[in-house]
Amino acid sequence: MIAVLKHELRLYFHSLTAYVFGAFLLVFVGIGAMLYNIQAAVSNFEYVLSFSCLVFVVIVPILTMRVIAEERRQKTDQLLYSLPITTTQVIVGKYLALLAVYLIPLAIICLYPLIFAQFGEVYLPTSYGSILAFFVLGAALIALGVFISSLTENQGFAAGIGVAVILFNYYSVSLAEYVSSTAFGSLVVLCVAVLILAAVINHLTRNENLAYGIGFVLIAGMAVLYFVDSTKFEGLVPDIMTKLSLFERFYAFVNGVFDMTAIVYYLTVILFFLFLSVQSLEKRRYN
């Protein structure tokens, strides 16, 4: 794990990736600090963070696009399989290297509230609470990026999908207002989700009967539930979209609530996507 971590770190700092990532993050936070703290003369640093979390849409895919996709394209992933460490250790090593690259610009950002405190009254608990939440939010998005990178061997494709997914997550709360909140609409969306799940099952197991079986059972179950009690489906899809939003939970910190449930949510998202990345690498052993 340490070997993978060292190798990845050397790779990031010998290429432009780490510098481009750090520069983008610092420029965006710098623009935010100029707009809010200097021009508008607001002493709340957390507003800058809530403004600049949009930058994750661009920089997280830049950072994570090559992490596994490039190994696959260059066929060096075969070396990873033959290493005397487990796939989990490979993924965790790579993820820790990404976190280290992310922490360096964040350490510089940590100085900003202290600098501003020299010139006025900055309430530091909110600032640093928000910076901590900003770190965990970014860490969750990086885990998502690692998973997307493990799905393809084309870097550009990984970056494109990553941008689309993170942008969708960013706007999912505003989009939730326009999504059909009727019971029937929710049923249709869930049926489509089940069909996608069945397609994934078919792709993974190469067994059509299993995919048809599971898909049919799930759809039948939902249909029965719909006819028994259709009020359960009302507003379900907008609800799910709001719950899944990573950014929405971050704004609670900006508003001055250090919400442990949000931290738990971010940690579970990290665990889940790293786990899926391991499964995605393991898939090449059997499929």
Partner 1 sequence: MKKKNLPAAGAEAKQAENRKEAESRRKAENRREAENRRKAENRREAENRRARNRNALRGGSYSLLISAVVLAILIAVNVFASALPANLTQYDISSSQLYSITSNTKVVVNALEEDVTIYWIVQSGEEDDIIENLLSRYESLSDHIEVVKRNPDVYPTFAE
Residues of this chain that bind partner 1 (CB under 8 A): 44, 123, 125-126, 129, 201, 204-207, 210, 235, 252-253, 255-261, 264-265, 268, 271-272, 275-276, 279, 282-283, 285-287
70 vs 282, which CB is nearer to partner 1? 282
CA–CA gap between residue 145 and residue 273 (Å, rounded): 9
189 vs 204, which CB is nearer to partner 1? 204
Contact 169, 248 (CB under 8 A): no
16 vs 196, which CB is nearer to partner 1? 196
In the complex, what is the shortest distance from the CB of residue 218 to partner 1, in angstroms, rounded to a whole number?
12
Q: Which residues of 206-242 are buried (b: 16+ CB within 10 A; e: fewer)?
A: eeeeebeebbeebbeebeeebeeeeeebebbbbebbb
In the complex, what is the shortest distance from the CB of residue 22 to partner 1, in angstroms, rounded to a whole number?
27
CA–CA gap between residue 274 and residue 266 (Å, rounded): 12
What is the separation, in whole angstroms, between the first and last Cα of the chain?
25
20 vs 257, which CB is nearer to partner 1? 257
CA–CA gap between residue 266 and residue 155 (Å, rounded): 25
In the complex, what is the shortest distance from the CB of residue 286 to partner 1, in angstroms, rounded to a whole number?
3
Tokens, residue 22 = 């750090």
45 vs 56, which CB is nearer to partner 1? 45
Return all residues near 232 (Cβ < 8 A) that are at least 6 apart: 183, 225
118 vs 231, which CB is nearer to partner 1? 231
59 vs 198, which CB is nearer to partner 1? 198
CA–CA gap between residue 94 and residue 7 (Å, rounded): 9
The kind and range of the H/E element at 3 are helix 2-14
In the complex, what is the shortest distance from the CB of residue 226 to partner 1, in angstroms, rounded to a whole number?
20
In the complex, what is the shortest distance from the CB of residue 165 to partner 1, in angstroms, rounded to a whole number?
18
In the complex, what is the shortest distance from the CB of residue 251 to partner 1, in angstroms, rounded to a whole number?
9
* Nearest one of 96, 78, 98, 65 to 281, comparing CA atoms: 78
* Nearest one of 110, 94, 199 to 146, comparing CA atoms: 94
